[in-house]
Structure 1
């Protein structure tokens, strides 16, 4: 049986990936810092499907966290066929007014840990001649976002990085995908400290995490470099810079995201 390693597995898109892959009878390695949630999810999935589930409790904002995860996997002699770099968070507000350590933690998690895990496991995949990597970016990676400036910049990095690796590995059996969801039904807005009245809290505009995951796995199967999930409105957003001057566009976004 194949094995998938999922970071940020304790909620949202990460949990949805775990549930979908368990249904496809793929063994799982679940990574997050929420120990109770991980073990509860692992128990649930093992009751629902004939799979093995390993749990690694790890805070990926810590230095050397990625290497520690890799070493645990190596010690257990598990080959990772799917690496899903899902862990990440945002932080809403005017950059200069937000806490600097929080911004640095975001870069560590959204970029550094993702790059480290990708490097460690991609090399093993290349040695085996097969593998799959999904890096969770965002439609925020296509545009600058005032009040989410660092978050959007990290997702732009993930998008560019993933597409470059996709090109490097073309012609092989290694598939690399940048998953770019729009607003998704998850705890993102709560963790990012959005104001209570922000309209994305209206469930009518949120895509389900399950739908995002199915879009991702279908795009991976088709060997695409990226997938924008969440419908036509998100396609319009990511392509808007083709039709509007960037200064005008970022001013419009600023008004939309202003508290």
Structure 2
């Protein structure tokens, strides 16, 4: 395993205003990368840009964008092209979840979740992938979840969106294997971020919550392996539970998940 330097590269990080996104920005900037910080809350992005730019001497560019709007990924690529900013690493971190019976959830919220968790990831990745693969110095990282490894009653749409993210990223890792680009899906369990504030309940938290720094550190270490795996599950306990879910009969895994999530 080698410690990578991102000196001379630029990392685009979505959902960068807090939590995992902010930690990705700090750890990539610490290793020399300029960062483009994307989220809806410009005030938070500007504060983070000032922090990492001042601490690590990199260029940090805040960009306010609502990635749940169809076409936002292509629009962001056009904006950065116009500014002369070339992206070498894309970290698809933006996303949210909700808790409750599918038939009782707001249809507009369901649509927004699918567009942000799935549509924006696909749009951004398609917009930037040719540039990433041609350069080959950076990485494509998507934040999936342990929810991707089995159906998740009471979080049905969220789990399904993360299963999409995991499958897409692993396929792209194979498709780009000759380019030198490191492609990785990282699947954490619960993380101490604003995620559960948005969800609105801690019933969705299964297991002990990890610190954002630990999840980002696990991501970085996976990227630094001589052969980067297409996906990694952050945390030993999460790896064991996801492995058990894959080996168990489907009906049993569904029942366990439903009980754990208090469906």
TM-score bracket for the superposition, by shorter chain length: over 0.9
- Shift of the alpha carbon at 1:190? 1.0
CA distance in 2, matches of 1:129, 1:28: 17
- Shift of the alpha carbon at 1:199? 8.0
- Shift of the alpha carbon at 1:56? 0.7
Aligned to 1:244, which of 235, 248, 253? Answer: 248
In structure 1, the partner of 2:86 is: 79
CA distance in 2, matches of 1:129, 1:258: 44
TM-score by length of 1: 0.94
Q: CA RMSD in A?
A: 1.5
1:131-150 maps to which residues of 2 (within 5 A)? Answer: 131-150=138-157
Aligned length: 254
Confirm whether residue 224 of structure 1 aligns to residue 224 of structure 2. Answer: no
- Shift of the alpha carbon at 1:130? 4.3
Aligned to 2:259, which of 231, 250, 255? Answer: 255
Tell me, yes or no, if the aligned pair for 2:89 and 2:132 is still in contact at 8 Å.
no
Aligned to 2:216, which of 201, 213, 217? Answer: 213
- Shift of the alpha carbon at 1:241? 2.9
Tell me, yes or no, if the aligned pair for 2:150 and 2:257 is still in contact at 8 Å.
no
- Shift of the alpha carbon at 1:96? 0.4
Unaligned runs of 5+ in 1: none
Tell me, yes or no, if the aligned pair for 1:144 and 1:152 is still in contact at 8 Å.
yes
In structure 1, the partner of 2:5 is: none
In structure 2, the partner of 1:90 is: 97
Confirm whether residue 21 of structure 1 aligns to residue 25 of structure 2. Answer: no
CA distance in 1, matches of 2:123, 2:180: 21
SS in 1 for 2:184: strand
SS in 2 for 1:205: coil
CA distance in 1, matches of 2:17, 2:188: 18
CA distance in 1, matches of 2:195, 2:182: 27
In structure 2, the CA distance between the partners of 1:199 and 1:84, relative to structure 1 (3 Å rule), is closer
Tell me, yes or no, if the aligned pair for 1:130 and 1:172 is still in contact at 8 Å.
no
TM-score by length of 2: 0.92
SS in 2 for 1:54: strand
CA distance in 2, matches of 1:130, 1:48: 24
- Shift of the alpha carbon at 1:200? 3.5
Tell me, yes or no, if the aligned pair for 1:22 and 1:49 is still in contact at 8 Å.
yes
Instruction: Give runs of ≥4 in structure 1 deviating > 6 Å.
Output: none
Aligned to 1:183, which of 181, 190, 198? Answer: 190
1:51-200 maps to which residues of 2 (within 5 A)? Answer: 51-194=58-201, 198=203, 200=205
- Shift of the alpha carbon at 1:243? 3.5
Unaligned runs of 5+ in 2: 1-7
